[in-house]
Structure formats: C-alpha cells, structure tokens
Structure 1
Amino acid sequence: MEEIFQQLYANGALLVMWGALLFHLLIPIPHTAHPVTLWHKFAEQLAYKVNNHHNHSQSLISGGLALMLMLLPCLVLLIAMKPLVWQGPLFELALLLIALDWRNNESLAKQLITAMSNEDKARSRSLLAPYLNRDTHTLSLLGIGKAGAETIIMGYGRNVVCVLFWYGLTGGIGALMYRLTTELSRAWSPSRRQFSPFGKPAIQLVAALEIIPLRLFALFITIGKNLSTVSSGMLQQAKSWPLPGPSWLLCAVGNKLQLSLGGPALYQGQRAERAKIGGRIAPSAIHLAQIQTLLVWRIFAWVVIQSLTLGFLYQGL
C-alpha cells in the first residue's frame, strides 16, 4: 500500500488532475467572475476595433491576425512563467482550475430543469442568454428544451472532456490554451453577421483541436444499450452537421435518449436552417435531467480511463 501511495505522489500529473477536479467541484469559480469570461469580453472589444465586416477578405485576414494576437502572447507568457514558479504542480493545478468548467454546466442544468418544470420561459431564456449566440427572447418551451440540451452537451464536452484531454497531452498550459481558444470561437462566432467571416479562423482551429476528444467521448456515449442503433444513427446524421467533433457528440446523445436536437435557429433576427438530428422526442425538463446523468457518469468513466492511461505512461517513463 505504501508503495502505491509513493507511486501516486511521484506521478504529479495525476495528483494535479484529481486535485483540480476536487477543488473545482468544492469551490467553483462563478461564471460572471471567471477569468475566461473576462477574456471573452476583451475578445469582443478587440473584434469591434479591428474587424472590417464590409470586406470579406480583409475581415478573414483580420480574424486570423486577431487570433494570433490573442493566443501567442498568452502562450509565450505561460511558457516563460513555468520555470519561475515555486512549485510546478501548483502552477499546473492553477491553470487546470481556470480551464475546467464542470460546476457552472451543472448549475445551468439544474436551474434550467427547475425553470422548465415550472414552465417559466422568461427565467429559462435569461439562463441561456449568456451561453448562446442565437436569439433567446423568442424561444418557445420546445426551443428552450433544444437549446438547453445542446448547451449542456457541448458545455460538458468542451469545458470538461476536451480540457482534460489536452491536459493529459500537453499539461496545464495546453488545457488553458484550448479553453481560451474555444472562448474566442464563441466570442467571434460567424453565426453572427458582424463576425462572418472574421471568426472563421478561430472556428477552424477549435474544430481541429476538439475533433479527437469529442469523437472519443461520443463513442463513450454510444456504449451500452442499443449500441448498434445509436452508432449507426450517429454516423448517418453527423454528416449533416457542420463541425465534425460536435456533430458526433450531439448525434450520439440525441440518438441515445431519442431526443430531437438541431433544427432552425434565429441569429439576430435571421432564421438559420440547421439539420434536425437525434430522435423524435422534444426535450423537456426530465430529459435535461437524463442528459445530465448520462454525461456525468460517462465523464467519471473518462476520468478513470485517463487516470489509468497517465499512470501507465508515467510508470513506463
């Protein structure tokens, strides 16, 4: 037993991951006060200054330059700080704590479930507004259910699963850089007219970074009951969704629980046609609870498997 504890202590990466998850779940950073939220607001202000959305090519070039302007200095600063810190594991722990966002997703899900159970559309819309680029003030209960389901699914997928994946590969710096990049893609989402095509470079970078972890997690979702049906439905429907990583995850959850996702959405008053994916059941409060339960248990399995993988890798090294 003592030898096992010594091996765990020597494996700092595992201790940092477990410690960050524990601290985050016990003492979460509120969404409004989160450093990533401030980063998001700064990115929007920068875009308003440099984006020429009247010229397609200039806007695209500006988007690429703005992406590098935001990310490269941050990356250089983090790399330069790493050898200067007193304790390397504490530095990694701090970065992973900032990158993770499990509890805010959990809190959003619980509040949405309560509001939808009471058919409180105004409350539900206000809860979703900070997380969505689409118009929320006209959402019906059906629209709230779909938007809430998609937000919860992608929130867990990106802010927990992908963050842990990139931590396992590149440490705390990689995890935080991934999270910052996803916030840039949200802040500059081309779904809003003024950021098209300015935000396209950010979207393409995020799509490349998350395709492997989101697809692996989607396969986690398919495991169990109706594996063959869920897998075939996921692969067939994913072709109609624009982003390769989110397409697998959304289709996997939708087919697993037979929930209707996707469909038309309003962005700044303009109707955007999106593919309909998943099953035929309109998401309600009880279905959001089912999504929450499904994702949390699969994430626990992901953490266990990633822990074992890191343990074997470090033991081998």
Structure 2
Amino acid sequence: MSSFLESLYGNGALLVMWSALLFHLLIPIPSAAHPVRFWQQIAALVAGKVNSPSSTNEQQRLAGWLALLLMLVPTSLVLWALEPLVWKPEFYQLALLLLAIDWRNNEQYAHKLINALAQEDKANARRLLSTKVNRETNNLSLLGIGKAGSETLLLSYARNVVGVLFWYGVSGGVGALLYRLTLELARNWSPSQKGFASFGKPIAWLFSLLDFAPQKLFSILMFAGLPIASIKHAIMQAKSWHNPVTAWLISGCAHRFELALGGPAIYQGEKLQRARIGGKVAPSAYHLALLQKHIAWRIYFWLVMQSLVMFIIHRGF
C-alpha cells in the first residue's frame, strides 16, 4: 500500500490533473473574467489589421498563416521558456491546466439554456446560444434552438473538457493551454464567417489536426452500448456531415437518443446547407438535460481511463 501511495505521489502529472479539476469545479474562473477573453480580443485586432476584404483568396490565406504564426509561435515559446524558471513546475502545470479547462462554465451554461428552453423563453435561449456559436440565432424556432443547443453542448464538453484533458496527457499544461488557445482562434477566425472563408482556413486546418484524436476517441465512448446496426448507421450518416472530425460524435449522439440534428444554418446572412442526421425526435429541454447527463458520465469514464494510462506510463518511466 505504501509503495502504491509513493508511486502515486511521485506521479506529479496525475496529481496535477486531479488537483486542477478539483480547484476548477470548486472555484471556477467566471467566463466574463477569464484571460481567454483577452486572447479573443487580440485575435480580433490581428484579423482586423491583416485580413483585407480586397485581397485575393491566396493573399487572405497567406495572411491567415502569418496571423496564426504571430499568435501561436511567440505564445508557445514564452510558455515553454517559463517552465524552468518557476519554483515548482507542478504549480505551473496546474495553473496552465486551470486556464485551459472549462467544465464548470459549460455546466452552468447548459443549465441556463435548458431552463430557457423548458420555459419556451426563445429570446433568452437565442441570446445564450449567440455567445457560443457563430451562426445567426435571432430567428431560430424552438426546434432550431433545440438542435443548435444539442450540438453546442456536445461540442463544448468534447473540446473544452475532453480535448483539453487529452492534450494535457500528451504534452502537459503547455499542450492543454495551446489546444484551448487554438480552439479560440478557430472559432474567432472560422471560415464559416463572412470575410474569413480564405483567411480562416489555416487555423481551421491546424485545429482539425489537433482535435482529430480526442474527438475520435471520445466518439468511441459515445458509441458504447449502442446496437451494432445503430453504430453502422451512425457512421454511414457521419460521412455526409460537413466536419469529418466531429462527425462520429454528433451522429453517434443523434442516433443514441434518436434526435433530429443538423439541417441548414445561417452565417452572416448566408445559408449553409448541412446534412440532416439522427432520428425524428425534436430536441427539447428534456433531451438537452438527458444529453448533458450522458456526456458527464462519459467524461467521468474518460477521466478514469486517462488516469490509469498516465499512472502506468509515468510509473514505467
């Protein structure tokens, strides 16, 4: 027993991860005061300076690459350079992971959206959705709110929690925070936004590369327990989804609860035709609550599995 505890204590990465989760769940950083907001503002300023509407598509794409490098390369160098200078590296890793993860705020957001949808308060539900998505929400019906809310909750947890934890396990707090910062850039410079079709492609490609492994692995957990026929049908439908990285995840959840997801979405006045996937059940407040509970249990299982993998790997070294 004592050797097990000594091994666990010596595994600083695992203790940092659980300490960060405990601190985050007890004392989360409010969304309005989160340092990521400053990163978003800087991203908007950089895009405003270098993304010229009069430029050709090639010039805008080149500007996107240069803006990406300008934002991420110096940040990466500073984060890695600071680590040897801190008094306790574990505290540094803890701070970075706390900045990267966003579980509690997603939980609070989900409860607000579910309550608004349950009360059929479309104005409040639309306002809440507008803070999380780039698509237009002003004219969404209750069905549209349910669809957009289901997709938003699923992707928020999968990226802000699972994706962050995955990259923490791979490359520590620096990797987790860089993943989160890349996610914010991908959202702010999304090619689906007007004027960003070419400028946003480089960051969209980079984030898709970083997001591929955690989303596919988490999708397997979401498929767990489904009949083989449903899994095959979900994977088949996923081929028509516009984002191949998140296709399994969205399609798997849609089939598990027979929810009707996907369909057209409007971005800055332009309609994007998206595939319709899942069943025929219109997502309601009840289904959003069910979906959130299901995701939470899958995240708990992910935490157990990642902890075991990290314990074995670090103990081996």
Q: TM-score, normalized by length of structure 1? A: 0.98
Aligned to 1:204: 205
Aligned to 1:97: 98
Aligned to 2:52: 52
Cα distance in 2 between the residues matched to 1:140 and 1:82? 49
Contact preservation (8 Å) 2:242, 2:275: no
The residue type equivalent to 1:34 in the other structure is H
Aligned to 1:149: 150
Contact preservation (8 Å) 1:53, 1:197: no
How many matched pairs? 316
| Residue 234 of structure 1, CA deviation | 2.3
Aligned to 1:284: 284
Contact preservation (8 Å) 2:242, 2:274: no
The residue type equivalent to 1:292 in the other structure is Q
The residue type equivalent to 1:67 in the other structure is L
Unaligned 5+ runs, structure 1: none
Residue deviations 1:149-197, cap 9 Å, x none?
1110000010111110111010000010011001000000111111111
**Higher mean C-alpha displacement, 269-278 vs 92-101:** 269-278
Aligned to 2:272: 272
| Residue 282 of structure 1, CA deviation | 1.0
The residue type equivalent to 2:233 in the other structure is G
| Equivalent runs, 1:92-241 vs 2, <5 Å | 92-224=93-225, 226-241=226-241
Cα distance in 2 between the residues matched to 1:89 and 1:8? 14
The residue type equivalent to 1:121 in the other structure is K
Aligned to 2:84: 83
**Higher mean C-alpha displacement, 250-259 vs 284-293:** 250-259
What CA RMSD, in Å, does the superposition of the two structures yield over aligned residues? Answer: 1.0
Q: Percent identity?
A: 51
Aligned to 2:300: 300
The residue type equivalent to 2:127 in the other structure is S
Cα distance in 1 between the residues matched to 2:214 and 2:141? 32
Structure 1 runs, 4 residues or longer, greater than 3 Å off: none
Contact preservation (8 Å) 1:218, 1:249: yes
The residue type equivalent to 2:66 in the other structure is L
Cα distance in 1 between the residues matched to 2:48 and 2:262? 29
The residue type equivalent to 1:213 in the other structure is P
Cα 1:37–1:227 change in 2 (3 A) is farther
| Residue 233 of structure 1, CA deviation | 2.3
The residue type equivalent to 1:316 in the other structure is G
Cα distance in 1 between the residues matched to 2:187 and 2:306? 27
Q: TM-score, normalized by length of structure 2? A: 0.98
| Residue 284 of structure 1, CA deviation | 0.4
